[in-house]
Amino acid sequence: MFFRKKWALVLSGGGAKGFAHIGVLKFIDESGLKPDMIAGTSVGAIIGGFYACGMSGAEIEKFILEDFEFKNFFDMKTLHLPDISIAKAFVIGESLKNLFFRPGVDSGVKLHNIIKKLTENKKFGEEMIPFACNSVDLVTHSHIIHREGTIADAIRASMSVPGFFHPFRMNGMLLVDGGIHDNMPVCIPRRSGIKNVIAVNLNSNEPEKIEKFETGMDVIVESLFINSRISEKTKENTPTIEILANDGRTNTDMKDPAVSIEFGYKKAKEMSEQIFNVTTPAIKNIFRKKTV
């Protein structure tokens, strides 16, 4: 009898680059693998939460490619452009006014309702794969790890990019995007006793190109999450394997999600040998190599 290695999957934040997470999940499904835990922040919390609650990588892809339409997920009623990016929305009329007179450009209500539907409004403990995500409390300046309550509420908190989404009120806290503190929360499974961690990093470890910063939104988003990027790496927050899945798009570019999905799939496939070494017993890897 061979004992399966215990391992966790961590999905980083990165806005629209998060479509690449779906490609990684498709590779994991096709390989017959199943993590013992999923953790994520921001867009990684959204996609990781869907997967943990029972959606396959292919089902998430189908939803994004066939059912995702910008206007149905955000409540900026004044916008009627057929092809609108978040960056454009940020500087147009009502959206700009919302930034100064409301807690954010978008209430997050529409997206929250969709998340409730796709997670079947499950509570922690009811998901198919143990799940956790993180956020930051503006009141106490604390890093919050969500393991209790309704999964959709935890995801809504984790994805609350300051300035864009309203902060999420929960249990006396005012919660914003977890990526401000830790954009790739490897610490979550490690603190749960899982040693082997595969993390999907949507952000480059290299300096950004200066041409990337075209709008105020680009500057704000990069500034918000820079602390998470430059924080000193420790053993607790360094993954066993890091899949770099930054396809070069900005955090706000939602065009052509299929391109990012395929990019994530290819990046995972390129690292298949390392992934199998971390997730399966050595004897299985020997058999796998002989049959490939």
What average pLDDT does range 253-260 have in this prediction?
A: 90
Q: Is residue 91's pLDDT more than 50?
A: no
Q: Residue 219 and residue 214: Cα distance in Å, rounded?
A: 8
Looking at residue 230, its pLDDT comes to 74
Q: Residue 261 and residue 63: Cα distance in Å, rounded?
A: 12
What is the Cα 155 distance to its own chain's centre?
9
**CB atoms closer than 10 angstroms to residue 154:** 30
Closest CA to 28 of 258, 292, 272: 272
> Contact at 8 Å (CB) between 51 and 60?
yes
Window from 60-64, 67-71, 278-282 with minimum mean pLDDT: 67-71
**CB atoms closer than 10 angstroms to residue 159:** 31
Looking at residue 80, its pLDDT comes to 42
What average pLDDT does range 32-54 have in this prediction?
A: 97
Lookup result for tokens 């835990």: 37
Residue 11's DSSP bridge partners are: 40, 200
**CB atoms closer than 10 angstroms to residue 182:** 22
In terms of pLDDT, which residue wins out, 285 or 33? 33
Decide: helix, strand or coil at residue 254.
Answer: coil
Looking at residue 103, its pLDDT comes to 66
Q: Is residue 154's pLDDT more than 80?
A: yes
Looking at residue 290, its pLDDT comes to 45
Q: Is residue 85's pLDDT more than 70?
A: no
235 φ/ψ angles, rounded to the nearest 5 degrees: -60, -35
What average pLDDT does range 215-228 have in this prediction?
A: 75
What is the Cα 89 distance to its own chain's centre?
21
Window from 136-140, 217-221, 283-287 with minimum mean pLDDT: 283-287
Highest mean pLDDT among 58-62, 108-112, 245-249, 280-284: 58-62
> Contact at 8 Å (CB) between 230 and 195?
no
How does pLDDT run across 94-146, given as a tens digit for each residue?
555 555 566 667 888 999 999 999 999 999 999 999 999 999 999 999 999 99
Query: How buried is 105 (Cβ within 10 angstroms: 0-12 exposed, 13-18 middle, 19+ buried)?
Result: buried
- Evaluate if pTM is beyond 0.75: yes
> Contact at 8 Å (CB) between 105 and 84?
no
pLDDT category at 241 given cuts 50, 70, 90 is very high
Round the average pLDDT of the chain to a whole number and report it: 85
In terms of pLDDT, which residue wins out, 216 or 55? 55
Q: Residue 82 and residue 39: Cα distance in Å, rounded?
A: 34
> Contact at 8 Å (CB) between 260 and 19?
yes
Q: Is residue 62's pLDDT more than 90?
A: yes
Q: Is residue 292's pLDDT more than 60?
A: no
Which residues touch 1 (CB under 8 Å, ≥6 apart)?
Answer: none
Q: Give the CA angle between residues 264, 87, 83 to the nearest 5°.
A: 80
